Structure 1
Amino acid sequence: MIEECGQRPSACDHARVAIQTRLDEPLPRERDAALRGHLESCDACRAYEAELRTLRVALRSMPTRPLPPDVREAALAATCIPAPAHRRRRLALRWPAPVVAAALALAALGLWRGGLAQQPRPSPGELAQARHDLRLVLALTGGALELVERAALNEVLTDGVAPALRHLPLRWPGGDRQ
């Protein structure tokens, strides 16, 4: 049985989350160093880590049996709830937004490049305007993709899936995931 922690409960709570994470994947260097420091001074968390490791070995050594198909189907039917029709319809209207934005970006790029082949070199002002227009198209495309992501999280991946995805430590180019 896991004993009560001897330090501040919040420090041990954080350490126990880190212990669980470290059993599944490597921790970032700073977090791993902090955990090692905590474990050096906390008997309760060391015992917790040892118990989790023992439990993990025991669970992995247990024989597995395939789930009968009828049980699997019954479990899926009981846990997978299709989105209501009105949600699907609203989402279906949003999906074309990134496609339209991408098509507009390609069309603008094609017109701009095609025009260069027939005309002399653009002036610095025209180049600045083209850069501005391209940034605008890319910003609109990015906004449309964010709307689609939010719609997918809020309307398709409801209940337990969307909140779980929001906690994943994913990093998008140019910044953090929101």
Structure 2
Amino acid sequence: MVALASLKLEHLAASFIVDASHFFQMEPSWEWPNLTSLVITSKLLTPNENSVEIGSMLQTAAAAAIKMPQLETMEIWNGQKGLAALFKYHAFRDIKQAIITWRGTWELTMEPSTIQAWEAVVNQYGGWRLDLVQERLDKAAIKSHGDAIYYLMLSNQVIRPISLQQIQIEQKAREGVKTV
């Protein structure tokens, strides 16, 4: 339902509302002609999950991205205590380049088929370059989903800065850390 409702949107941030693996199970005719940014979570993004299933979901996301001709940013993430993971596609139209970033508390090795699926996204624009970036985070620093949002450097559409501060303050209070 969320995917169907998003077909006419320019921006969608639906963290913890719908899982990416469900969102990308779309009808073949669906297109998002106006969508420029998508932020969504996935329970698959954990180090214990089967990497083939993660790769399959990321390939399905690439198939959806092909139907999003204005897409500039897609963020698929997950976060909780001790866990943070982000797959980010970012298109830079002015320099004809896209970057796929994996940022997380564990290393994800992307299968060649996953990379090829995302190359197909940039190839539709002709002459674009696709770069891959991997960044490792310290899982000890991730005390809550609020810390995950902060360390993953998610777009501002995920949460307002004041709400993020409140989550972090509440987490410190639970841990017995005094805040000023």
TM-score, scaled relative to structure 2: 0.21
Structure 1 or 2: more helix by fraction: 1
Give me the TM-score of the superposition, normalised by structure 1.
0.21
Report the structure, 1 or 2, having the larger strand content. Answer: 2
Bigger radius of gyration: 1
